[in-house]
């Protein structure tokens, strides 16, 4: 038994996996930072849509758009910013088409804020797999190269080291990739849901304004 065998499992995996293991670890670190950042960003942008709509639509029905604007200003989020854009257009006496255009433009501005750097999770997932494959190939090259020049007494040990190198890189790359791809899919689902809520609420607000313009006060 050599000294590497006495190391803790993770440290032993890095020792036998070679330099590629550190590349995959760096990708994993960036991925974790991005996951935490997106989680916090999406959590902070989330509001109770039903409660918000009830309040804002009630103010519109009463014709008090200035109160509705103040209500949106007190709760900055993609949904409130979208509705606020429409309310400003209504206060400026713009026609329904321009009100819708204002809210559509707001949706286009808010969507990149929701997405952030999320697409890079898919990139990190693919790169980690490729890095693991690179480590696997390097390990096999090292293994067969060592076996070709080793004596009979050490051939088995050299072959074992090379295979261990390859499998550690493969496993670590797959672990990082799975985490990236699963969280990417989850964030994409949350982003798509938020975008649908923006569009649905903006359409509801426009219909409500169109039906109650005579109640709106300056």
Count structural domains, the chain: 2
Say if 166 falls within a structural domain.
yes
pLDDT at 20: 87
Which pLDDT value is given to residue 93?
A: 86
- Within-domain flag for 84: yes
Residues 155 and 169 in one domain: yes
- State whether 37 and 53 are in the same domain: no
187 and 140 co-located in one domain: yes
| pLDDT tens sequence across 147-200 | 667 666 676 776 777 777 778 888 999 999 999 999 999 999 999 999 999 999
- Reading the block at residue 65, the tokens are 């758009």
Say if residue 189 is in the same domain as residue 137.
yes
Q: Looking at the structure, tell me whether residues 102 and 124 fall in a common domain.
A: no
Digit-coded pLDDT (tens) for 122-152? 999 999 999 999 988 887 887 777 666 766 6
What is the rounded distance in angstroms from the CA atom of residue 212 to the CA atom of residue 195?
A: 26
Domain membership flag for residue 13: no
Q: Which residues form the domain of 52?
A: 48-115+199-212
164 in a domain, yes or no? yes
pLDDT in tens, 39-93: 999 998 888 888 898 889 888 888 888 898 999 998 899 999 999 999 999 888 8
């Amino acid at each position: 038994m050599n000294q590497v065998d006495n190391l803790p499992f993770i440290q032993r995996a890095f020792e036998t996996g070679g330099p590629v293991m550190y590349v995959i670890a760096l990708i994993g670190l960036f991925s974790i930072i991005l996951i935490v950042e997106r989680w916090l960003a999406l959590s902070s942008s989330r509001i109770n849509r039903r409660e918000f709509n009830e309040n804002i639509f009630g103010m519109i029905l009463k014709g008090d758009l200035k109160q509705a604007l103040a209500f949106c200003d007190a709760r900055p989020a993609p949904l409130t910013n979208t509705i606020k854009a429409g309310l400003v257009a209504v206060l400026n006496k713009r026609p329904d088409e321009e009100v819708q255009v204002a809210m559509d433009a707001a949706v286009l501005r808010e969507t990149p804020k929701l997405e952030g750097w999320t697409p890079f999770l898919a990139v990190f997932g693919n790169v980690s797999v490729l890095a693991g494959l690179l480590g696997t190939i390097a390990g096999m090259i090292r293994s067969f190269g060592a076996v070709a020049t080793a004596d009979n007494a050490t051939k088995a040990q050299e072959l074992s080291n090379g295979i261990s190198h390859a499998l550690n890189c493969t496993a670590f790359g797959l672990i990082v990739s799975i985490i990236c791809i699963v969280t990417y899919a989850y964030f994409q689902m949350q982003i798509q849901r938020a975008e649908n809520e923006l569009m649905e609420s903006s359409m509801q607000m426009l219909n409500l304004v169109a039906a109650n313009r005579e109640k709106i006060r300056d």
